[in-house]
Structure 1
Amino acid sequence: MADIDTGRRVVAASECDTLGHANIASYIAYVSDAGFTLMNHVGLGRDNILAGRRMGLAVVDMQAQYKAELLPGDCIYLRTGVLAVGTKSVTCRHRIYRAQAGGDQLVFEGRFIKVLMDLEARRATAIPEDIKDRLEACRVSDDS
């Protein structure tokens, strides 16, 4: 199995702080968007959130490793893989890479535990089998 492409963008100057690099909030915004891409990929997209099953993944824990700074104009892309699927939760790995000549560079890696939320009851709920199967299709090993 393999991780999936969950985003591509250029780092905007407005996403950078007075130190001249992308600030922490920007990295989190990038992976937040990647999380919505993953939800869409597994059948929990916008139609589901607004009217369908009314379920969505919510982050309950995260660990982040910043490996290199991002600068205005950097072209980046995100890859997301699933490390584990539980009864109500999924552990995802989001990675951000800088695309560059001579080889891309891993600049951020985050591990996120997310629970499937029933958006009406506002509480965690069991992951349906069809969603679980789609999440399993995105499984990666922890060392890949």
Structure 2
Amino acid sequence: MESDATYRGTVYPWQCDHVGHMNIMWYVGKFDEANWNLFARIGLTPTYLRQSGHGMAAVQQNISYKRELLAGDLVEVRSVVLDIGDKSIRFRHEMRNAETGEIAAACEITGVHLDRRTRKSTPFGAQLRRQIQDHVAVPQSLEA
């Protein structure tokens, strides 16, 4: 899968903490926005989720912080799907300083496909699973 940007934005001064760099809550927020863009790209669109009665829930998230981001920095997140199971998907985001290209943080997430009515995990449909499978990649690096 080509790792096109799944998020682009800016670090605002009010997103910075007492040390002067972007607070961890904003890393999580920007990664969350990248999730939804990645999901739409692989078939888990808002329309699919609304009409099917399904949803996605994160069950594990691991973030590695590499370089600080400061107010005014431009941010870009690129994402890849690492694996798909019957009911789950694992993917990775890399957040970079868009000006320097340096990796600021990386996040690996496992998400579960669920039935919103029963609040229980449910298998991906065969067609959706094949569509997602077409996007699975083993990333060497997400560099452009």
Task: Give your verdict on TM over 0.5.
Answer: yes
Identity rate of aligned residues, in percent? Answer: 28
Distance in 1 between residues matched to 2:134 and 2:2, nearest whole Å:
8
Alignment size in residue pairs: 141
For 1:1-144, list aligned pairs within 5 A: 1-50=1-50, 52-100=51-99, 103-144=100-141
Distance in 2 between residues matched to 1:53 and 1:4, nearest whole Å:
27
Cα RMSD (Å) of the superposition?
A: 1.5
**Once the 2 structures are TM-superposed, how far is the Cα of residue 38 of structure 1 from its aligned partner?**
1.6
Contact 1:39–1:57 (Cα < 8 Å) also in 2: no
TM-score by length of 2: 0.89
Letter of the aligned partner of 1:68 in structure 2?
R
Contact 2:80–2:139 (Cα < 8 Å) also in 1: no
Which SS does the other structure have where 1:33 is aligned? Answer: helix
Distance in 2 between residues matched to 1:127 and 1:4, nearest whole Å:
24
Letter of the aligned partner of 1:87 in structure 2?
D
TM-score by length of 1: 0.89
Distance in 2 between residues matched to 1:135 and 1:35, nearest whole Å:
14
Distance in 1 between residues matched to 2:33 and 2:69, nearest whole Å:
17
Ranges in structure 2 where 5+ consecutive residues have no aligned partner: none
